[in-house]
Amino acid sequence: SLLQLVYPYDFRLTEKEKTSICYLSFPDSYSGGLGDTQFSFRLRQSGGQRTTHYEDDGEYNREAPLTLQRESAHYFGYVYFRQVKDSSMKRGYFQKSLVLVSRLPYVNLFQSLLQLIAPEYFDKLEPCLEAVCNEIDQLPPPVPGQTLNLPVMGVVIQVRIPSRVDKPGSSPVKQFNQENLLPAPLVLPSIHELDLFRCFQPVLIHIQMLWELMLLGEPIVVMAPSPTVSSEMVLALTSCLAPLRYCCDYRPYFTIHDSEFKEYTTRTQAPPNIVVGVTNPFFIKTLQHWPHILRVGELRMSGDLPKQVKVKKLAKLKTLDTKPGIYTSYKTFLHKDKTLIKRLLKGIQRKRPSEVQSALLRRHLLELTQSFIIPLEHYIASLMPLQRAITPWKNPPQIRPFRQEDFMKTLEHAGPQLTCVLKGDWLGLYRRFFKSPNFDGWYRQRHKEMTQKLEALHLEAICEANIVAWMKDKSEVEIVDLVLKLREKLVRARCQHLPVKEETLQRVGLYIETIIGSLPEDLQTVLHHH
């Protein structure tokens, strides 16, 4: 496979990335199916940091939900693959892929774009791509909370970019301002949410087990018949913890040519915390030491509940014609939830549309995640120093350390049982969670937010203080020291975009000027130049 063309021309990829993209853009096990398929992959960036097209990632990442951050060390690839009979070709058929590479996980938006662009591109080739890229260049950068209208090839795609302040589980705002757009826009209900019901159809009765495995960041292999099924299943799995961010690595589609192949297949160390989607039967042999392997067949939507896979022992995996199933020895901490399956079955009997079933499934997973996370949120909030302990002339007090045993004690009267009917070993689940990258990611994020909140409260305390009174009995050295400290605080507040009102920052700026003004002139000059 060959990389024929890269747009925009100035987009720099390393040779290693080009090779990986080539291999990831084609199905790696021959599928006799002709026609068009779409799938996605995720690729580790090689060769150091590069500047991105939009300089200020910070602003977008601060306002976007944690699950939709722009990636800094990975690319997503969105692929439209076509295979058609062609006697002029050596193999007897023509194979081509158009790949969109981005740092944003907007799977629905980018796959919809490809559905418009790819068929045209395969017909008209280069000029078409140039025209489309010019259109895409004109598009505004995504702003969380805003609705985008994207004119591409005579169609306007309309979609809302979610924001961090959206209530989890609230459906996107339906009534878009149509602004008399002609032709009527192609409205995408979500920029990234998959049809969970369709993706999870063979494993609906095991949803709980899969949720636990994802929560704990366990290593999982998804073996699928095609890159489409593998990438959809992996993306569905990584999305099932929302609004908690899945902090482990994942590869929606992975081939034997990948540069990380050795790293994942080695038996000298435990498998990494990653969900990896594969289609090549060769992986059955090389990954059979992994603890959890989910083997699925082709997804077919039928009228009744699709055949559900069974949980099997890992030893059964040796054969090459491995049957669909979840191969694992994992025992779930929580008991199965029968009501979800009953509801979904009722939906199937009543022929409810797939998106209604997906909404049910998504709400169930959201409630499960929230029941698990709310006690953690309550406990971590209690580690914040009291507001009255924050005084202007002392460094703010530290956030108290997170002690797992103290947290466990809070569960008796404020545990998940308050919001969740599921029985089981919640304590065991928390203990395992504390060892996972997902806990680490959640804790760091919260700790960072709390530290910034403390800084902000400290600045506000300084604003309320009577600086002149404080200066009365202070030496010049102490006053100069205060000026330098306040300056540093101001710079930090602006750089880190701390949650502080602009007027507070301006008042601190004025304070600094006032203090400098009260000092001897030679010192004033030094401080003004400092």
Domains in the chain: ranges and CATH: 15-141 (no CATH), 195-443 (3.40.50.11500), 466-529 (no CATH)
pLDDT at site 260: 86
pLDDT at site 39: 96
pLDDT at site 375: 96
Using the predicted structure, report yes or no on whether residue 178 has a pLDDT greater than 60.
no
Using the predicted structure, report yes or no on whether residue 175 has a pLDDT greater than 50.
no
Percent of the chain whose pLDDT exceeds 70: 91
Let me know the angle formed at the C-alpha of 299 by 43 and 24, rounded to the nearest 5 degrees. Answer: 20
Sequence-distant (≥ 6) Cβ neighbours of residue 428 within 8 angstroms: 333
Q: In what order do the strands lie in the sheet with 311-312?
A: 249-251, 274-278, 220-223, 292-295, 325-328, 311-312
Question: What are the phi and psi torsion angles at 489 (to 5°)?
Answer: -60, -45
Q: What is the mean pLDDT of the chain?
A: 87
pLDDT at site 54: 47
Q: Map residue 315 onto helix, strand or coil.
A: helix
- Overall size of the chain counted in residues: 530
Distance CA 437, CA 215 (A): 9
Q: 173: which DSSP letter?
A: P
Q: Map residue 31 onto helix, strand or coil.
A: coil
When pLDDT is cut at 50, 70 and 90, the band that residue 315 belongs to is confident
Q: What stretch of H or E contains 321?
A: none
Distance CA 75, CA 391 (A): 45
DSSP 260-294: THHHHH-SSSPPPSEEEEE--THHHHHTTTSSEEE
Q: Widest CA span of the chain, in angstroms?
A: 94
Alpha-carbon 234 to chain mean position: 12
Two structure tokens written together for 464: 């309320």
- Per-residue pLDDT averaged across 488-500, rounded? 88
Percent of the chain whose pLDDT exceeds 90: 46
Residues 328-379 pLDDT 10s: 999 999 998 889 999 999 998 999 998 899 999 999 999 999 999 999 999 9
Distance CA 530, CA 512 (A): 13
Question: What are the phi and psi torsion angles at 20 (to 5°)?
Answer: -60, -45
pLDDT at site 314: 83
Contact 493, 435 (CB under 8 A): no
Q: Map residue 68 onto helix, strand or coil.
A: helix
When pLDDT is cut at 50, 70 and 90, the band that residue 392 belongs to is confident
Distances (CA, A) of 240 to 51, 436, 467, 523: 31, 16, 52, 60
Residues 114-150 pLDDT 10s: 999 999 888 877 777 888 888 888 888 889 999 988 8
Sequence-distant (≥ 6) Cβ neighbours of residue 486 within 8 angstroms: 462, 508, 511, 512, 515
| Number of CB atoms found within 10 A of residue 375's CB | 21
Using the predicted structure, report yes or no on whether residue 480 has a pLDDT greater than 90.
no
Using the predicted structure, report yes or no on whether residue 170 has a pLDDT greater than 60.
yes
Q: What stretch of H or E contains 119?
A: helix 107-124
Residues 440-460 pLDDT 10s: 999 999 999 999 999 999 999
Residues 9-63 pLDDT 10s: 667 788 888 888 989 998 876 666 668 999 999 999 887 655 554 445 678 988 9
